[in-house]
């Protein structure tokens, strides 16, 4: 498994582009992205469980009923959610892709992100399609990554190279997400491409299985978005023997997919709105996987703990508090807690009670930009990891006037 450059264009047969079309008033900010595969591929996606769903999700879910796709279009600056003509606009976006790329509109994944409840005019998208499609390139994956950003401060892309049956294969991905992140069955917007030859059924199974332990273990602010979606197209151009069942080749693909998803989780959490630190809660010693996951996510979701991490305050009582109200079946008397960063590790709790530790050393550890919260439940062999970020003054500033 080797990290490589290229993002969504690292896989064979994929091109991308990102331009400013005019949805955003800021002319220097790209707001329209396009990803294209030379051939139709297997496709899968998972979606937000929020009852209020963006129109693009409804359209995409319908398009992917046959498990096939060839292109992805996404605009930023407007979520196309809670609009009377939202479905019509989303369908028109896919029709434009079909027109300019000579693909079926039913093979287009459509996504939007931005302000909810604001009408989306398709005219800027239509006017930009000639330059967007003509500019498709194997070297423009980063332009697409930038074009899907909203309050993100950095683009998020990654790709890996690996082998299946002697054939060199790739998976690449881009993501956007900074606020309104507390997923359930999906998260933010994530677009992945692969040249692996895999059936739609097994691709969907791989995506659903992995998301349970990656994106569903991520939280920035406790809000599940209306437009969350993770999608992947695998066009088969790597030439490996088709993966149509579980086994060694499926396991290799799963490992590569997991590598991509964990990396994107960390980058999203680290770029949370106003965040200064990536938080990673690693729970061990649980008596079940469900308990481990419940505890880990409860800790990274705690506003009080997130605030303490912002202030580099080793307030370990907030960790136990979050565990206590998580609903998980734990024995408080066997819980250990430690904090770890590039500056070292310090234990702050043993068997549910505080231990003597240096506040000065603890602060030095917690002043780093990546903090691990280590929780041992002392009751079993199951582990889980969740990702989050600190809670800062800037989160309120960003969201206080996000729409206006």
> In this structure, are strands 382-389 and 370-376 parallel, antiparallel, or unpaired?
unpaired
Note the CATH number of domain 2-270. 3.60.70.12
The CA angle 225-226-231, to the nearest 5 degrees, is 85
CA–CA dist 353, 296 (Å, integer): 19
Greatest CA separation for the chain: 68
CA–CA dist 307, 366 (Å, integer): 12
Output the pLDDT for position 63. 98
113 given a catalytic annotation: no
- Among the CATH numbers 3.10.20.340, 1.50.10.10, 1.20.140.10, 3.40.50.980, which is that of 278-400? 3.10.20.340
CA–CA dist 323, 328 (Å, integer): 7
CA–CA dist 358, 214 (Å, integer): 34
Helices (H), 28-180: 55-63, 86-101, 123-134, 141-147
pTM of the model: 0.92
CA–CA dist 354, 350 (Å, integer): 6
Output the pLDDT for position 49. 84
The CA angle 402-75-395, to the nearest 5 degrees, is 25
Output the pLDDT for position 50. 87
Residue among 272, 268, 225 nearest 81 (CA):
225
**How far from chain centre, in Å, is Cα 216?**
9
Mean pLDDT, the chain cut into blocks of 10 residues (404 residues total)? 96 98 92 98 94 94 98 96 96 98 98 94 98 98 97 95 98 92 76 98 97 92 85 98 98 98 95 94 98 97 97 98 97 98 98 97 98 98 97 92 79
- The kind and range of the H/E element at 322 are helix 317-324
Cross-strand partners of 157: 174
Return the structure tokens found at 184: 């359930």
Asked whether the beta carbons of 21 and 75 are under 8 A apart, the reply is: yes
Output the pLDDT for position 187. 57
Q: What share of the chain is helix, strand, coil (3-state, %, to 5)?
A: 35, 30, 35
Output the pLDDT for position 401. 86
Q: Tell me which of 113, 187, 193, 224 is the catalytic residue.
A: 187
DSSP state string for 219-264: -SSS---SS-EEEEEE--TT-PPPB-SSSHHHHHHHHHHHHHHHHH
**CA-to-CA separations, 147 to 166, 262, 283, 293, 313, in angstroms, rounded:** 36, 22, 36, 33, 37
Domain residue ranges in the chain? 2-270, 278-400
Torsion of CA 210, 213, 214, 215, to 10 degrees: 90
């Amino acid at each position: 498994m080797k990290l490589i450059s290229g993002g969504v264009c690292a896989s064979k047969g994929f091109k991308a582009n990102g331009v400013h079309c005019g949805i955003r008033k800021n002319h220097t900010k790209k707001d329209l992205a396009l990803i294209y595969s030379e051939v139709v591929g297997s496709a899968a996606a998972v979606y937000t469980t929020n009852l209020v769903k963006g129109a693009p999700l409804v359209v995409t879910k319908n398009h992917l009923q046959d498990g096939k796709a060839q292109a992805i279009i996404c605009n930023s600056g407007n979520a196309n959610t809670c609009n009377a003509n939202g479905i019509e606009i989303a369908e028109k976006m896919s029709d434009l892709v079909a027109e300019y790329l000579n693909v079926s509109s039913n093979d287009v994944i459509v996504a939007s992100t931005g302000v909810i409840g604001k009408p989306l005019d398709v005219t800027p998208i239509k006017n930009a399609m000639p330059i967007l499609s003509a500019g498709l390139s194997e070297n423009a994956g980063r332009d697409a990554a930038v074009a899907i950003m909203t309050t993100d401060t950095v683009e998020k892309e990654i790709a890996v190279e690996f082998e299946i049956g002697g054939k060199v294969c790739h998976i690449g991905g881009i993501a956007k997400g900074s606020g309104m992140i507390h997923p359930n069955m999906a998260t933010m917007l994530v677009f992945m491409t692969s040249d692996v030859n895999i059936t739609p059924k097994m691709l969907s199974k791989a995506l659903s299985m992995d998301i349970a332990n990656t994106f569903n273990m991520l939280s920035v602010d406790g809000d599940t978005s209306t437009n969350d979606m993770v999608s992947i197209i695998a066009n088969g151009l790597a030439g490996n023997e088709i993966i149509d069942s579980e086994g060694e080749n499926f396991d290799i693909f799963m490992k590569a997919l997991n590598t991509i998803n964990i990396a994107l989780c960390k980058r999203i959490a680290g770029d949370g709105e106003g965040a200064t630190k990536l938080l990673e809660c690693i729970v061990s010693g649980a008596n079940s996987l469900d308990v481990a996951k419940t505890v880990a996510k409860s800790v990274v979701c705690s506003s009080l703990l997130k605030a303490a991490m912002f202030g580099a305050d080793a307030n370990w009582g907030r960790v136990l508090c979050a565990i206590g109200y998580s609903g998980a079946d734990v024995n408080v008397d066997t819980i250990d807690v430690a904090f770890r960063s590039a500056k070292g590790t310090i234990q702050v709790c043993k068997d549910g009670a505080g231990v003597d530790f240096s506040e000065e050393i603890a602060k030095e550890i917690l002043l780093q930009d990546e903090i691990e919260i280590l929780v041992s439940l002392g009751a079993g062999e199951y582990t889980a990891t969740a990702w989050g970020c600190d809670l800062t003054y800037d989160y309120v500033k960003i969201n206080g006037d996000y729409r206006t």
